[in-house]
Amino acid sequence: MARSKVVPESKKALDILKYEIAAELGLPVGNHMSSLNADTEFASELGSIQAAPMRKESWGHITSRDNGAVGGRITQRLIQRAEETLFTL
């Protein structure tokens, strides 16, 4: 059974968030971040973005634990943003 996305337009925003978080965690997940205009300034200041070329578009070399950490941080940020929106209304 194929699942349909509730808000298909959110894909790009979620991809940006995914790569921002990966950069903050220092995960080498590809050159895709620059094409998404991801905000990696904070991660680069901390030195977590390596100067060496990153692997292309693949998450296959990232451990399950690291993938889970990215997913967990995405969830935390989405909840935080939703709470901020609710409390500012």
Predicted confidence (pLDDT) per residue in 40-74, tens digit: 555 555 554 444 444 456 788 889 999 999 999 99
Predicted confidence (pLDDT) per residue in 1-30, tens digit: 667 778 888 888 998 999 999 999 998 886
pTM for this model (two decimals): 0.63
Is residue 51 a contact partner of residue 28, using CB atoms and an 8 Å limit? Answer: no
- Residue spans per domain, the chain: 10-87
Comparing CA positions, the residue from 63, 30, 46 lying closest to residue 38 is 30
Q: How far apart are the first and last CA of the chain?
A: 38
